[in-house]
Chain A
């Protein structure tokens, strides 16, 4: 039955990498292998991207038809049959349909060196880890003109990518899993045929379609899911980017190469992802939020949570309500008649002799810069006659000083900066820098003078000028030729504004063109930029709140669209941006590529969410942010508004490891979980810190843009901070020691109370951004056995194979295991280990089935091969909390189909770790990490966060799982040690139970 309806859609299941990975294909009718004509969807693959082709009859239940690792080849999806195959000639035996093929996307390169041969690389069929082997077969010269090749041989459909360069072969071929071994055997067998095909035919890297299978349903839908996040070698640069770099740098000899299968190509101990820069924006890939987009070059930052401090004591002249104008980088909020910082309201000092009431022009503020210099305007005498006044700019050099006129003349009757006017300096709330940090602004010059045609002296507005406020003891500002089109000033060398376009008749068209001087005039922008900031590799021009559209980045001599910052109207130095409310997000903040609402960025107590409390309701908007990240929030649908200051607070752990090295990752601060789209109830959208009990003092660096006017007081019940009940910090980086009182129950949780200011002016944060998990100091007793594999009797008979002991070079000492485990678990869950390494190995003939693998039956009523080992444990072993068996098994994995380096039976508190050279298990650090990972399974539970079906206590979708201790597969690098809050909770549960049962040490 033919399909009556076909729909094909494309899904993008990838990281936000600012690249369009959707397969742009086309439909084509192709003659299949059986001479039938098939309607096919053909799309070009991108090297290093995985594609899942799925079909469905009901758009609900989808079946995976095929999975492809792209190598730049075209892929053909057979959808339905147009013309059936011709009938076979009489007497021809019926053909059998072809068996399904495995898609083998491999890279083949000539091996350098005298030994010759071919280096073959691919992402393992068994565990997706990188596989690199040298085979003796040589590639024919015809390959020189064939970078891509596709052909089926037996059960494997090969997509071969052939870079022109030769490559150094591995010193030794890795042991292969069964599927990898099968593929390689097939490849070696068919390499001559492949060479012949390449030599004979023009390159056409496309798979020939198989006939579409008959289908009983009349309607079928297809879709292609794209996964661009594949990072086979785990170096932090995804495969597609590695291929792109390799192609870009072909023929050159870069120090660090793009190679999807080698994590450290220059062997300097630093992962390639820390050194490669795919989009060449100056930010290395592992730190680049958008590593495929050079218009967005802000690096990934630790995620903050915000303290939220309502402003309750701002004042206004009688009959007016306080209206906030700006916040500066000292956390000072500017109102028209005063400022607020750290809970303190400071009214602006009036001019000498009292407020100038002439013309009701009380001096009032317009803007403040990050040095607390304030620009304002008011009525000031401009002539000898005090009744003659002018509306001119003034400034407050310091908060405790009266304002001075902005004038370039030392005598009355000179030149002044004129007061703001329409279309010039903005009145009211202004999220743009009017007064730069080096005290520059633009205003019209005005003059009390008599110009030609005047009969007496008058107040004249002259040209637009670029004013610089005086420094030191001077009272005279300087003025230079300016432009009225320039409105805002980041610094004296970066200004921007707009020009109005006119038609041929000279009438304004209403179209504004952005104008940026930095310091020379840049090409016009097609919009009026409200904020322009410098980035690592250029400028970024943002639109206003009401101007929906894509902002522009200036790099390499031109403006380019920067869609990653759409909606943002103000931005901090680290790329944290704010936007207007939209799409059900209240008070959105852009944090590492994710627009995040206020209920997440400023978490309240859980109980406070019903009904929504003030500052979480939909009338909250963000109106200004600063380079350091302070945010001014406004609440209310109409005046008078409430205002609050939001302070970003970040936390970084600090731990001195056993070797004296300072560790800041995976040391008991969990700001990782909040990066997930689903952090879970254990996290409650907060940063969590493990608060240890016992003799261990945790050191945490709290980071916030604080200063002496905005001291932050931190406290939590029965938590000692710097040895006291509370700690006050006022620097940008603040080291705080932290531990819980021993009287507290282990496992308890606290929310940190955060107050700003001091004395009577102290104001409490309505949010509670930091949580504390109390964990008792505990000692876990670990017994480690080495297991020598024997093959017959013990001692071996002459005909028996020699016993295989655990690899002595890889095998760590008792002290090394103890220190390694301590460095991982002590700072995170306050556990140290009493390791007892039994030096005398257990000699066991466990492989009675003579299979390559060590067949362990975890949690099963049917015994497995491990029982032979357990039976060899000497009588009366020392009590243990966890047992670890390091098992020698050269050439084979642990587990029948698992190809594992370690397996843990949590119920039995027993871990099995591979102790022979196998796959990537070739070094002591790797083995130590595997031991830690398996012990982690006992402590924090089974499962792996990166798996599809069984993800452990904290799946945390959308996060970088490779940073975690419990990630599956070979741990990608030595820094993958992170335990998160959900895992702390499970560890506490297990440890507490174990303690109640009389286990553990104190």
Chain B
């Protein structure tokens, strides 16, 4: 019904052959190189950013399935972003626009790729706080959000069950949110926990469905930790919120860095695309 309403008010005038052409593109994508496949399918998955009609939804679902089946689908975007970031670091201002475009295009697609590989890529980016040095000048009218914040934003939108931070983001709590997500990812990376996607009973680690042995190990550890915690203090609301023994100092530093960058960010430049 919703789609019918949208279509009735549509001003779009797609080619009648659009649907067939796109489905054919997906079917024949295997003839392309891996990078070309990901590039093409990524654009088509981008349909999911906006409300879709029936045809668009079919194309989107087919493209998403095909893309997620390609190993390296998320690493492809990570590599593009990081290569572009590296150029921006070494070349300087001339490369910043390209970096911005890579961020924009890649982070349009990454939210549409909820996969263990996507979680891995975004989790690693949670610790990437670099911003161009020129951004701290008073005359700067452009800004770059650190990749760490962009990655957290995407993870927040992933259909992950039991997200480590559920409160809507504000200026005041964004540092806490980032700390929670970093801790969550560190635990997954170290094998201390797994994660699930909504509507999918499978427990995943960063390499795919978690092996049964790993799940048993995590379950035992959780039970043990719970018993130990119960012996000393009230059990934390979520295992994620429980600080790791090795994390407080890192968390403190991370929070300071994050707060500083946010303070700079919101005080100095909020105006990408200013005329």
Contacts and interface: CB of A to CB of B under 8 A. Distances in A.
Most chain B beta-carbon contacts within 10 A, residue among A861, A896, A907: A861
Interface of B: 2, 5-6, 9-15, 18, 22, 25, 43-44, 46-47, 50-53, 55-56, 59, 93-94, 96-98, 100-101, 104, 107-108, 132, 134-135, 137, 139-143, 145, 149-150, 152-153, 156, 168-171, 174, 266-275
Interface of A: 678, 779, 781, 834, 836, 855-864, 876-880, 894-898, 900-907, 911, 913, 930, 933-934, 937, 941-944, 947-953, 955, 968-971, 986, 993, 996-1002
A905 B272 contact: yes
Given A996-B43, A998-B53, 19 more contacts: A678-B94, A855-B270, A858-B271, A859-B145, A861-B174, A879-B11, A894-B271, A894-B274, A901-B275, A943-B142, A947-B141, A948-B137, A950-B93, A951-B94, A970-B275, A998-B47, A998-B55, A999-B12, A1001-B11
Contacts of B271: 856, 858, 894-895, 897-898, 900, 903
Contacts of B132: 949-950
B272 A904 contact: yes
Contacts of A993: 43, 46
Query: Which of B51, B132, B271: most chain A CB closer than 10 A?
Result: B271
11 contacts: A834-B11, A856-B271, A877-B9, A895-B270, A898-B274, A900-B141, A905-B272, A942-B104, A953-B97, A986-B101, A1001-B13
Q: Which of A857, A947, A999 has the most CB of B within 10 A?
A: A947
Contact of B274 (A781, A860, A900): A900
B100 A876 contact: no
B15 A1002 contact: yes
Contacts of B6: 876, 879
Given A861-B152, A876-B6, A948 B134 contact: yes
Given A859-B145, A998-B47, A1001-B12, A971 B275 contact: yes
A954 to B, nearest CB: 9
Given A898-B269, A907-B104, A955-B94, A933 B275 contact: yes
Nearest to A856: B270
Nearest to A64: B137
A951 B11 contact: no
A949 B273 contact: no
B274 A1000 contact: no
Q: In this complex, which of A937, A971, A993 has the most chain B Cβ atoms within 10 angstroms of its Cβ?
A: A993
Q: Which 10 A-B pairs have the closest CB atoms?
A: A898-B271, A904-B273, A949-B134, A950-B142, A902-B275, A861-B153, A1001-B13, A900-B274, A895-B271, A937-B273
Contact of A997 (B10, B44, B139): B44
B107 A907 contact: yes
A934 B273 contact: yes
B121 to A, nearest CB: 17
Contacts of B170: 862
A858 B108 contact: no
Nearest to A781: B11
B169 to A, nearest CB: 5
Contacts of B11: 781, 834, 836, 878-880, 1001
Which of B13, B152, B170, B174 gathers most chain A CB within 10 Å? B13
Contacts of A998: 12, 14, 18, 22, 47, 52-53, 55-56, 59
B100 A905 contact: no
Contacts of A986: 101
Contacts of B22: 996, 998
B135 A949 contact: yes
Given A949-B142, A950-B100, A968-B141, A902 B274 contact: yes
A305 to B, nearest CB: 24
A944 B139 CA distance: 13
A859 B47 contact: no
Contacts of B59: 998
A942 B275 contact: no
Contact of A879 (B10, B94, B143): B10
Nearest to A898: B271
B12 A943 contact: no
Nearest to A929: B275
B273 A905 contact: yes
Nearest to A932: B275
Contacts of B152: 861
Contacts of A904: 272-273
A867 to B, nearest CB: 11
A949 B93 contact: yes
A923 to B, nearest CB: 15
A933 B273 CA distance: 9
Contacts of B13: 779, 1001-1002
Nearest to A906: B104
Contacts of B270: 855-858, 860, 864, 895-898
Nearest to B59: A998
A907 B170 CA distance: 21
B125 to A, nearest CB: 13
Contact of A907 (B51, B93, B98, B108): B108
A855 to B, nearest CB: 7
Contacts of A999: 12, 50
B12 A879 contact: yes
B110 to A, nearest CB: 12
A845 B237 CA distance: 37
B230 to A, nearest CB: 35
Given A860-B145, A997-B46, A903 B274 contact: yes
B200 to A, nearest CB: 25
A930 B145 contact: no
A524 to B, nearest CB: 51
B79 to A, nearest CB: 19
Nearest to B8: A876
A905 B153 CA distance: 16
Contacts of B142: 942-944, 947, 949-950
Given A879-B10, A998-B12, A1000-B12, A895 B274 contact: yes
Contacts of A876: 2, 5-6, 9
Contacts of A906: 104, 272-273
A321 B5 CA distance: 82
A858 B273 contact: yes
Contact of B14 (A860, A944, A1002): A1002
B102 to A, nearest CB: 11
A856 B143 CA distance: 13
Nearest to A1001: B13
Contact of B96 (A864, A943, A1002): A943
Question: Which among B98, B141, B149, B174 has the greatest number of chain A C-beta atoms within 10 A?
Answer: B141
A934 B272 CA distance: 11
A1000 B50 CA distance: 13
B271 to A, nearest CB: 3
B135 to A, nearest CB: 7
Contacts of B143: 858
Nearest to B275: A902
A500 to B, nearest CB: 56
The residue in A834, A901, A943 that gathers the most chain B C-beta atoms within 10 A of its C-beta is A943
Nearest to A857: B270
A952 B94 CA distance: 8
A950 B96 contact: yes
A901 B274 CA distance: 7
A441 B29 CA distance: 74
A891 B9 CA distance: 37
Chain A CB within 10 Å — which of B93, B107, B156 has the most?
B93
Contacts of B150: 861
A900 B169 CA distance: 26
A452 B37 CA distance: 100
Given A861-B169, A897-B269, A948 B12 contact: no
Given A879-B51, A905-B272, A862 B97 contact: no
Given A856-B270, A947-B142, A1001-B11, A862 B174 contact: yes
A473 to B, nearest CB: 67
A903 B271 CA distance: 6
